[in-house]
A and B are shown apart, each in its own frame.
Chain A
Amino acid sequence: MLSRLVLRAAPAALRALPPPVAVGVLHTTRPLHTTQQSLAPVPPLPEKGGEVRHGLIPEEFFQFLYPKTGVTGPYMLGTGLLLYLLSKEIYVVNHETAAAACILGVIIYGIKKFGADVAAFADKLNEEKLASARAMKSESIETLQKAIEEEKKEQWRAEGRSYLFDAKRNNIAMLLEANYRERLLMVYNEVKKRLDYQVAMQNLKRQKEQDHMIQWVEKSVIQSITPQQQKESIAKCILDLKALSKSAHAAV
C-alpha cells in the first residue's frame, strides 16, 4: 500500500523540478536512496494485524473502556444494548433473523474447523513465492560474486604478463642465437670447401709435375740407350752370370 502511494507520488515530485534537472535526475545522475522516501526497498508487511475480539470488535474498544468499567464493562454494554434493541423492537425479529443465525452458525463452524488448514495453505503459497524470489536474488548474487572472483583471477593473471614477455624475449634471443650459429657454420663450411679446393689443386699440380718429370726422365734415359750399348751391356751381364755360376759351383 505504502509502496503504491510512493510510486504515485514520485512522478509528481519529478515534474515539480525544472525540466533539465528532471531530465538529469532521470538519466545520468539519478540519486539512489538519497531522499527520505525512496522507492526501494519496500518496507515489509507487519506480521499480525490489529487485535480483534470475537472476530468483530477491535481490542482498542475494550482497552478504551477498561479504566472506567473494568473487564466486564464492554460485555455489559453489549448485553444492555442488545436487550434495549430487542425490547424496543428497534431490531425486529423476523425470518431474516433465523436465516442470519443459521448462516452465522455455519460460518463460525467452518472457520473454527478449517481455519488453521486454510491459513497454513495460504502461508505455504506465500512461502513458495518468497522462496522463489529469494532464490532468484541469491542466484543473481552468486553469479555476480563468481564474476567478481573470475575478474580478480583475471587481474592476477594479468600481473604475470612480465613473465610472459620475458619468456618471449628468451625465445626470440634463442632463435637469433640459433640462426647466428647456423650461418656461422655455413660460412665455416664454405670457407673450408674453398681452401680444400685450393689445397687439392696444388696437390694435383705437384703430382702432375712429378709424373711428367719421371716420364720425361725415363723417356730420355731409354732414348739415350743406343742398340750397341744394349749389346755390350747384355754381353757383360752374361759374363758376370758365368763368373757367378762358377763361384757358386765352387762354393758347393
Chain B
Amino acid sequence: GPLWERPLLEVRLGELHSWISTCSFSPQGLLGAVQRAWNSYCARYIHVKQGGPAGISMLLAGYCLLSYGWNYQHFKRHRWQKYH
C-alpha cells in the first residue's frame, strides 16, 4: 500500500527518510504511535493461546537495557581500566 499506511517493518531502508516525514509528531500522533506499537506487540506475543517465556522476557530485557542506559554515568565511574 501507500507509504504512510505501511508498518515500520515493511518500510525499506531507502524510504525510511520519507516515511519519517509522513508521520505526525504531535502529542496525539506520538501517543497513537506508542499505543499502536504496544497493541501490535501484545497481539503478537502475549494474547496468544500458547505463549512462552518470550513475551515477558523481551520486556524484561528491554527494561534491563533501559535502566543500564539511564545509569550509565554511574557505571562509568566503576571501570576496571582507565585506558581502552
A: residues with CB less than 8 A from B are: 1-2, 5, 45-50, 52, 55-56, 58, 60, 87-89, 91-94, 100, 111, 115, 119, 123, 126
Contacts and interface: CB of A to CB of B under 8 A. Distances in A.
Nearest to B76: A92
Given A56-B61, A115-B53, A88 B84 contact: yes
Contacts of A111: 53
A89 B81 contact: yes
A52 B75 contact: no
Contacts of B44: 49-50
Contacts, number: 67
B75 A123 contact: no
A56 B61 CA distance: 8
B49 A46 contact: yes
B80 interface: yes
Contacts of A49: 44-46, 48, 50-52, 54-55
Contacts of A1: 39, 42-43, 47
- In the A-B complex, list the 8 residue pairs whose CB atoms are closest, starting with the nearest: A52-B54, A49-B48, A92-B75, A50-B44, A49-B45, A89-B79, A88-B84, A55-B57
A92 B82 CA distance: 12
B6 interface: no
A46 B46 CA distance: 10
B53 A46 contact: no
A139 B46 CA distance: 32
Nearest to B57: A55
Interface in B20-67: 39, 42-55, 57-58, 61, 64
Interface string B1-19: 0000000010000000000
Contacts of B54: 49-50, 52, 55-56, 58
Nearest to A53: B54
